[in-house]
Amino acid sequence: MHVPLWGWALFLVAIVGCFRIDLAFGHRGDQPVTLREAAIWSGIWAAVGLAFTGVVAAVAGAESAGEYLAGFLIEKSLSVDNVFAFAMIFGYFAVPAAAQHRALLYGVLGALVLRGAFIAAGASLLAAFHWTIWVLGAVLVGTGIRMAVHDGGEVHPERNPVLRLLRRVVPMRADYVGDRLWSGRAATPLLGVLVAVATTDVLFAVDSVPAVFAVTRDTFVVFAANAFSVLGLRPMYFLLAGAMERFGKLKYGLSAVLVFVGAKMLLADVLYVSVWVSLLVIAVLLGVSVLASLRNARPISSTPERNGAAMSAPPSTPSTTDPAVGGPAPVRGRLQIRFHVSVVVAVGLISVLLGSSVLPRSVPGLSGISYAVAAVLGAALFLASVVAHELAHALLARRNGVPVTGVTLWALGGSTELAGEPATPGAQFRIAGVGPLVSAVIGLVLVALALVSSGLLSAVLGWTGVTNGVLAVFNVLPGAPLDGGRLVAAGVWKRTGDRARGTAAAAKAGRLVGLLVLAAGAVEAVLGSVAGGLWLMLIGWFLTATARMEGVRVQVSGALHGLQADAVMTPGAAAPGWLTVETFLERVVQPTRATVFALSAFDGSPAGVVSLPQLTAVPLEQRSAVRTLAVATPISALGTVKPTDLADDLPARMGAGAVLVVADGAVVGLITPNELSRAVALRPPSTKGEVRE
């Protein structure tokens, strides 16, 4: 996209004008920015940025417009990190609310100038040295992985070298003077805030600018995407700064986007991915992560306390135990479907595979946008079929009297979380077999529909149908943790009358299946596709590791044979879950060395479990307002037993890391993996159950 010098000048004047409008009308007077005001101006600037897509399309065509839109989405999403950094800086400097809008505006304007320098340097390097694309791609992949595996870095303004230099050479007052930068011959702390904001944003630009170069090499498009995304940061801060915890999953979507665009740069010489496929993948990854964040967000109570006790009782968490006997959760009730963050990566990979390889080969000659839309629909259809597979397990388990706490989907498939064991071999056989049966039926139906369809619809239906068939066959392989392993366990249980022996046989078979898949992956990597071979090896490793864990669980169950839950548990009543995190840490945690605590609702019923890491993860400034139940693992995700229940099944109930022991509607004890290990270690060898494989 060739833009003459006067075009650049006109665009810069327009951007500066937008900033002036934001300063003049986005906030008036010295009053703090209201949520309504922030929402309105966030919407206005987002609309302006999106509307510029039409300008690019009119001047340079649809391809450049798609590149701009993809870059704008990436930058706008990554700007959420800037919002978090702004919140940390403002907290460190104790910036008054009335001065924050000016600090943001001037700081962001300075950061935009510095980003422009980054963009100019990056464009020059890419034009002069082809290997630069590999360096930038590696940086993006590394940044994406780091973002996914770290809980989030803290901003430390006191370590900012530019700010430290400023404090040495410029006299600075200790107090703020409205929103002024200078007072007399001394600077106010607001000048230091501006320096911290601008330099911190440059650090984020090291990640975000290369991300846009991954979708376009057009310098104007890169700068425009950065400019319009930065333009809305001021109102976005006031809109989101108080609700950042509601977007906890967004970082995984951003991580997947960075890894995707970084891989796209690394493979640019051997794999072409159209801008429309890239745009759809980016939109899906970000959309799924936002929806997952909002779905999993927990409300935070800000009800004040008097003398450490709640002034008003919070809504009590419904107990999933029988109040009379403290038995397991009822088999009826709302079934939770949860999406692990790795699903975002899986959806993106499937979309890329379909849009850049499978569909163009099956139906050649169509536009990139057609392949992109069909690819996303195909990925969504496959995800829906996996949900159907797991729901079949869950619903039949409930029908056979087995409590189900929920279904979790992740990159390699899904899992149905049972809060108990089937009562008979037949029930276990039916629960395990219904999943592959549903996948096979879905596969046959989709293939039949593909045969009577045409074009892209036929290709998408056919691929999804065949993939479901492969999923059904793979799941009946005879080894844990696959459904086929459960079928083997049910058969051995039926023949020998020993549940533990059946589970041990399935675990042993699972290790063998995992090793075979690992070997097949190694052969595929050497003789065929490296990527396909590595994927098979990953699956084989997972099967082997999970089967080994299943074997350990069986051995622990055998060692606990004959014990009751009250002989294993740590006795004690539940702590009040309605206390704030600050009060809970002071009154409950500090007097003891325990790290996991059972919680009760205001009416005394079991409400959940909280661990020390969950409590300390709450920021210091929020601990006086956040209630402990808001960060705890709820009762619906936990296993519960009576004191007289046998301990054999306790390892199977440890999915959430703890089991509550309940009697007469109240918690009387807590069992964690530590209690199980202690009970096994203290039992005399002659009394431990023996499991024969």
Hey, which residues are catalytic here?
390
Rounded Cα distance between 502 and 509, Å, is: 11
Tally: H helices and E strands in the chain = 24, 15
Output the six-digit token pair for 104: 């943001």
- CB of 420 closer than 8 Å to CB of 328: yes
Query: For residue 19, how many other CB atoms are within 10 A of its CB?
Result: 20
Q: Is the peptide bond before 481 cis (omega within 30 degrees of 0)?
A: yes
Kindly state the DSSP code that residue 419 receives in the 8-state scheme. S
Tokens matching residue 509? 């078979």
Q: How far apart are CA 575 and CA 351, in angstroms?
A: 47
Q: Which residue, 231, 208, 223, 234, is CA-closest to 77?
A: 208
Three-class DSSP labels, 446-515:
HHHHHHCCCHHHHHHHHHHHHHHHHHHHHHCCCCCCCHHHHHHHHHHHHHHCCHHHHHHHHHHHHHHHHH
CA distances (Å), 102 to each of 19, 35, 220, 559, 585, in order? 11, 17, 28, 66, 38
In 10 A of CB 359, how many CB atoms?
23
CA-nearest of 112, 132, 311, 319 to 204 is: 112
Confirm if 539 and 521 have CB atoms less than 8 A apart: yes
Could you give the CA distance from residue 431 to residue 416 in angstroms, rounded to a whole number? 10
**Could you tell me the sign of the dihedral formed by the alpha carbons of 392, 393, 396, 401, in that order?**
negative
Contacts with 78 (C-beta within 8 Å, 6 or more apart), sequence order: 204, 207, 208, 211, 229, 254
What is the secondary structure of 85-128 as a DSSP string?
HHHHHHHHHT--HHHHHHHHHHHHHHHHHHHHHHHHHHHHHHHH
Question: Three-state DSSP class for 643?
Answer: coil
Sheet holding 413-418, edge to edge: 336-339, 404-410, 413-418
- Could you count the other beta carbons within 10 Å of the beta carbon of residue 97? 12
171: left (phi > 0), else alpha (psi -120 to 50), else beta? beta
Residue 131 CB neighbour total at 10 angstroms: 9
Whether the CA torsion 120, 125, 127, 130 is positive or negative: it is negative
Asked if 500 and 554 touch (Cβ cutoff 8 Å), the reply is yes
Beta partners for residue 609, in sequence order: 598, 633
Measured CA to CA, the distance from residue 462 to residue 451 in angstroms comes to 8
